[in-house]
Chain A
Amino acid sequence: MLNEIAFYLIAAVTLGFAVAAMALRQLIHCALCAAAAFAGLAMLYLQLDADFVGFAQLLVYVGAIAILIVFAVLLTRNDEILPGSRRSSPSWLMGIAAALLVLSGIALPILNSPSLRHAPTATAAAPVKLIGVELMTHYVLPLEMVGILLTAALLGAVVIAMREEPETKTQSRPPAARRVETSEVVSQP
């Protein structure tokens, strides 16, 4: 009973923050509400006995991705929405309708299938030691691939977000070279 009350509380808070993250006007409020929704999801993982995933979710989402989003919001600060302009796209009503269609497509089969209405049978546990052993034996190749992917993404993010001052120099070179050529052409006759 207590477990069920905790589940309903956490689920309501998570969904509420998710709605707020999608609906609020100020971008910074959206970012903070998204962080709260990610924290609520971590609570759900902890309630499902997936301790390591819950703490990984807290570290990665609340600790890293939320901070990254806040930084992006602050770096694009001048992009404030003018009082007269809309914050949603012109066809937002169709977007909401599509989302409701998706929701009914997913939720109705779930609610109508009796085979999903069962309580957890045995006590499942994912001890960190076992996860480490699995990562080093069965899943060692995916682990290495994720390492390569993260390195590539880190380098790519730095390169993409870097200021492009050297490139303006190289861009200014071709016109200068052309000017020299034309001056040569002019000076020849």
Chain B
Amino acid sequence: MNPLLTHYLVVSALLFSIGFAGAVARRSAIIVLIGIELMLNAANLNFIAFWRYGAHSEALTGVLFVLFSIAIAAAEAAVGLALVIAIYRQRKTTQVDGLDRLKG
């Protein structure tokens, strides 16, 4: 007996909301980035679940979309964390509510 498609979608929705809550409620920029990664992963889980439970699983569309999404998430994490390190060097903080000035 396999789990239904609904189960995977609910897990993905929970993961998305957890990531969203962390991204909007925490002060540390690194935690905000982890939250964004969790939201991206929830979308990936949806793609894989719909691919597996869909009618045309031989097309491999969901799998390939997730592979590209993982590559783009890696690029985003690298640039985001480099920005966090650069900001820390400039301001000696990574708390997002301390970064309210555009002037360097």
Residues of A that sit less than 8 Å from B by CB:
1, 3-4, 7-8, 11, 14-15, 18-19, 21-23, 27, 30-31, 34, 37-38, 41, 44-45, 48-50, 52-53, 56-57, 60-61, 64-65, 68-69, 71-73, 75-76, 78-79, 86-90, 92, 95-96, 98-100, 102-103, 106-107, 110-111, 116-122, 124-126, 130-131, 134-135, 139, 142, 146, 149-150, 152-154, 156-158, 160-161, 163-164
Interface centre among A11, A18, A100 (most CB of B within 10 A): A18
CB pair B14 A161 closer than 8 Å: no
Total interface residues in chain B, CB < 8 Å = 74
Instruction: Compute the total of residue contacts between A and B using a CB distance below 8 Å.
Output: 250
CB pair A160 B63 closer than 8 Å: no
Chain A's interface: helix, strand, loop or mixed, by majority? Answer: helix
Chain B's interface: helix, strand, loop or mixed, by majority? Answer: helix
B102: Cβ under 8 A from any A Cβ = no
Residues of B that sit less than 8 Å from A by CB:
1-11, 13-22, 24-28, 30-31, 33-35, 37-38, 41, 44-45, 48-49, 51-53, 55, 57-58, 60, 63-64, 66-68, 70-79, 81-86, 88-89, 92-97
